[in-house]
Amino acid sequence: MSISKEILDKIALSRREYQLIVERLGREPSEVELGMFGSLWSEHCGYKHSKALLKHLPLGGQRVMVRPGEENAGVVDIGDGLVLVMKMESHNHPSAIEPYQGAATGVGGIVRDIFTMGARPIALLNSLRFGPLSDLHNRYLFGGVVGGIASYGNCLGIPDMGGEVFFADCYSANPLVNALCLGVAEGKNLVKARAYGEGNLLMLVGADTGRDGLHGASGLASRTFEEERELRPTVQVGNPFLEKLLIEACLELAETDWIAGMQDLGAAGLTSAAVESAARGKGGIEIDVLKVPRREKGMTPYEVMLSESQERMLVIVKKGYQDKVRAVFDHWELHSDVIGQVTVDGLARIKEGEKVVAEVPMNLLTSPPLYRRRVKKPRWLDELQSFNVTSVPDLSPREVGPVLLRLLASPNIASRHSVYRQYDHQVGDNAVVLPGNDAAVLRLKGTKKAISLTTDGNGRYCYLNPYVSGAITVAEAARNSACSGAQPLAITDCLNLGNPERDDIYYQLKECIAGMARACRKLRIPVISGNVSLYNETRDEAIYPTPVVGMVGLIEDVTRHCTSGFKEEGGLVFLLGDNRTVDSSLGGSEYLELVHSLVKGSPSIDLDLEKRLHRCCLEAIKRGIINSAHDCSEGGLAVSLAESCLLGGLGFNSRSWNLEGRLDAALFGEAQSRIVVSVAPKLAAKLEAIASKWQVPVRKLGVVGGGRFIIEGYIDLSLEEAREVWWGGLEKYQ
């Protein structure tokens, strides 16, 4: 066999995979064919290491109309003839190389996935991870990514409702940039990404095709990288203005019956767009690369087929409607060209004029080998989990206040306003709850309904216990939805991990998915879309396994939503959920890392209690009983209480709170399944009755009011002091 190792490395195929191609094809592939295989068999497009595991996630449900993989994004029905279209996708590797454009084009890509289906994008969220901001390069990445997201999303006029951002050493060389987009459509206008109907035309719209982004799918997203500089040309440059025009033109087309389908060009460019849509339509395609408008001279068919130039759409135009469709694009001042047609022979045929440069059966391209391995729990994980809390001294009462301030100032907990104020979160006239709460809330015009949106993920937990923490990731997103008054509807996820060809990473992947699947089943929340981003490692240093969940929830009556901040003086503050002090809840906590520089222990969760807690909280909000709800997460109970004070601008006073067990665990432990709520005194009995109905423990903690945060005997801080450190903790790095 003549193929060189360099060529295979460039397209990230193994020699065995190459032999498989030769075997199935019955001959050696041409250069163009090999490039197409490399892209479509990459982890990014073909999911060869993760597909066997992903099938364990629950995908169906009463409201689910489109499942993962069936289309560009998942779809749920919310009644009133409306559907929500949602997806989250990673753009980690490009952002590591060129943060501003990498993040910007990540937004562009995910937005295209949504309007491709005929849905108007109405919200963006981002889940971000970086190395510590004490390092200048990390600060450059952080600033660049946030700036890139802002520049692209703001230009499109789609509100960015926040999301999350966390910092840990393991993300220094591999930052994570996960972008979520949600759209709304009338169910009848949904467009499928299917190329079907012999003689229907393939029309390429938007930007001209250049050499940018070659090998993005196979090279950047599907292997580890050591020398980042050489990869810079694989990152594309975004043009959000062009994308805005595409949105309007494509949504106009979605309301006509002139098109058979639409598909955006993302990873692996024209190759993946044409082949995947034709495979869904169970037909074939024929493309003439000479008809593809180019940005530069001398491009080979290989380059045209694999370019990842941004802001391009493939529209499958019904025979006879070409002129009408073109008129719509002309109106929006967009360039459109017919580059080929749909066939019925089941082949992907690529021509350069009359010369055929690739001709491969569609089903070979779309059926990469799937790998499944048996792996054991790595020994180092046992060591991490066998953490003995008594090896760490407890806090003395006078140390508690200063530690709370340190936590509030930690970039992992401090106010995120300096990030989200750079995003336009109010365009669209729908934002009811702005970023900075447990979940953002958008009303749906023309209905009484609203939706909640949140993203959640805790890499540190998953590093310590991937199975349990996979479950926690889902549970926390659902808890955040519940705190906003929303019934969880569906999940989209990004699984960010290291190299799955290594046993311990494959173990993490398998366990994370199993844990997520368990929580999804228990809480009855389907996964409707998502992606995997593997190979997030540099020089054998992998990131924490970081599954991120994006969740949409439904609020039937928009006036019955809830926020995290305390609302009125004299309100009573209760803790819903487990109120015993569990020493092991320090495992994996922000406190343990910040104060003792330890990442050890193992989180735990009781999913039965979690489920009852959500129902309890939702009922209390629906009946208008509670004034605020805020879950306990990073920093534990004390931080959660302090945040409710800071968000509401009101103090907290607890005179008779007898802290049991270790002080650090009681205040800063991160036990799951807990929500801090406030309630008017006259409604307290009703809250207790609801809690008892759902068998959720409830405990009174104190009273809202004044200008101080007081837990008598332990903490007495002025709100201004707390606010100053919390407000500036992240802002000072921007």
Active site residues: 44, 91
Cα radius of gyration rounded to whole Å, the chain: 26
CB 385 within 8 A of CB 465: yes
- Residues ≥6 apart with Cβ < 8 Å to 704: 566, 567, 568, 569, 570, 571, 572, 573, 648, 650, 651, 652, 653, 678
Site for another protein (CB under 8 A): which residue of 60, 81, 157, 353? 157
What the block records as the tokens of 712 is 């008598």
Distance CA 71, CA 53 (A): 20
CB of 103 to another protein, least distance (A): 14
Residue among 156 and 235 whose Cβ is closer to another protein: 156
- Give the binding-site size for another protein (rule: CB under 8 A): 32
Q: Give me the residues paired with residue 553 across strands.
A: 452, 488
Interior angle at CA 174, CA 168 and CA 178, nearest 5: 90
Binding to another protein (CB under 8 A) within 506-565 occurs at 558-559
Pairing of strands 347-352, 284-288: parallel
Residue from 56, 244, 324, 622 binding another protein (CB under 8 A): 244
Residue 240 sits in the site that holds another protein (CB under 8 A): yes
Query: Which residue, 717, 704, 726, is CA-closest to 645?
Result: 704
139 binds another protein per the rule CB under 8 A: no
DSSP string, 70-90: TSSSEEEE-STTEEEEEEEEE
Beta bridge partners of 88: 180
Written as one letter, the residue type at 191 is V
One residue of 338, 432, 514, 582 binding another protein per CB under 8 A? 432
Q: Is 119 in the site for another protein (CB under 8 A)?
A: no
Cα(531)–Cα(533) distance, integer angstroms: 7
Q: What is the spatial distance between Cα 132 and Cα 138, in angstroms, rounded to a whole number?
A: 7
Closer CB to another protein, residue 239 or residue 481?
Answer: 239
Which of the ranges 108-116, 154-162, 570-578, 673-681 carries the binding residues for another protein, by CB under 8 A?
154-162
Site for another protein (CB under 8 A): which residue of 287, 313, 431, 629? 431
What are φ and ψ of residue 729, in 5° steps? Answer: -55, -40
User: Is 156 or 548 the residue whose CB approaches another protein more closely?
Assistant: 156
Q: 426, 624, 655, 681: which one contacts another protein (CB under 8 A)?
A: 426
Interaction between residue 333 and another protein (CB under 8 A):
yes
Q: Which stretch binds another protein (CB under 8 A): 375-383, 428-436, 602-610, 619-627?
A: 428-436
If the CB atoms of residues 138 and 563 are measured against another protein, the closer one turns out to be 563
Segment lying near another protein (by CB under 8 A), choices 60-68, 90-98, 390-398, 419-427: 419-427
CB of 121 to another protein, least distance (A): 11
Q: Which of 241, 282, 296, 320 binds another protein (CB under 8 A)?
A: 241
> Judged by CB under 8 A, which stretch of 30-38, 151-159, 227-235, 610-618 contacts another protein?
151-159
Determine the straight-line distance between the first and last CA of the chain, rounded to whole angstroms.
54
CA 448 to chain centre: 27
* Range list of H helices, 187-343: 240-254, 269-280, 301-306, 322-331
Q: Specify the residue, 350 or 414, whose C-beta has the smaller distance to another protein.
A: 414
3-state secondary structure (DSSP) of residue 721 = helix
The nearest distance, CB 213 to another protein, in angstroms, is 20
Stretch of 22-30, 77-85, 148-156, 320-328 lying at the interface with another protein (CB under 8 A): 148-156
Q: Which of 42, 105, 154, 627 is in the footprint of another protein by CB under 8 A?
A: 154
Beta bridge partners of 294: 209
Residues 6+ apart with CB under 8 A from 460: 168, 544, 588, 593, 599
Stretch that binds another protein, among 61-69, 240-248, 340-348, 667-675 (CB under 8 A): 240-248
82 binds another protein (CB under 8 A): no
Residues numbered 263 to 302 that lie near another protein (CB under 8 A) are none
Is 245 near another protein (CB under 8 A)?
yes
Residue partners of 388: CB distance under 8 A and separation at least 6: none
Q: Nearer to another protein by C-beta: 192 or 567?
A: 567
Residue 264 beta carbon to another protein: minimum distance, rounded to whole angstroms: 19
Give the whole-angstrom CA distance, residue 182 versus residue 659: 43
Helix pair angle (31-40, 269-280), 10° resolution: 70
Contact 481, 551 (CB under 8 A): yes
Tell me which residue of 366, 611, 306 sits closest to 471, measured CA to CA: 611
Q: Which is nearer to another protein, 83 or 242 (CB)?
A: 242
Using the rule CB under 8 A, give the single segment among 15-23, 242-250, 523-531, 715-723 that binds another protein. Answer: 242-250
User: Which of 129, 326, 425, 449 touches another protein (CB under 8 A)?
Assistant: 425
Rule CB under 8 A: say whether 150 interacts with another protein: yes
To another protein, the closest distance from the beta carbon of 443 in angstroms equals 7
- Strand order, beta sheet including 431-433: 431-433, 440-443, 450-456, 546-555, 487-496, 527-533
Report whether 343 contacts 470 (CB < 8 A).
no
Tell me the HSE value of 276 on the side-chain side, using a 13 A CA sphere: 25
Q: Is 428 in the site for another protein (CB under 8 A)?
A: yes
Options 119, 155, 313, 730; binder of another protein; rule CB under 8 A: 155
Residue 314 lies near another protein (rule: CB under 8 A): no
Q: How far out from the chain centre does Cα 376 lie? A: 28
**537 neighbors 499 (Cβ within 8 angstroms):** yes
Shortest CB 185 distance to another protein, Å = 16
Tell me if 239 contacts another protein by CB under 8 A.
yes
The whole-angstrom separation of Cα 653 and Cα 250 is: 55
Tell the smallest beta-carbon distance from residue 555 to another protein (Å). Answer: 12
Taking the complex as a whole, how short is the minimal distance between the CB of residue 154 and another protein, in angstroms? 6
Interface pick for another protein out of 282, 445, 580, 623 (rule CB under 8 A)? 445
Residue whose tokens read 């030769």: 22
Shortest reach from residue 239's CB to another protein, in Å = 7
Applying CB under 8 A, which part among 133-141, 418-426, 605-613, 681-689 lies near another protein?
Answer: 418-426
Instruction: List all residues 6 or more positions away from 692 whose beta carbon is below 8 Å from its beta carbon.
Output: 698
> Does residue 142 belong to the site contacting another protein (CB under 8 A)?
no
Please state the closest distance from residue 125 (CB atom) to another protein, in A.
15
Q: Counting contacts by CB under 8 A, is residue 8 touching another protein? A: no
Q: Which residues bind another protein (CB under 8 A)?
A: 147, 150-151, 154-157, 239-242, 244-245, 332-333, 420-429, 431-432, 443, 445, 558-559, 734
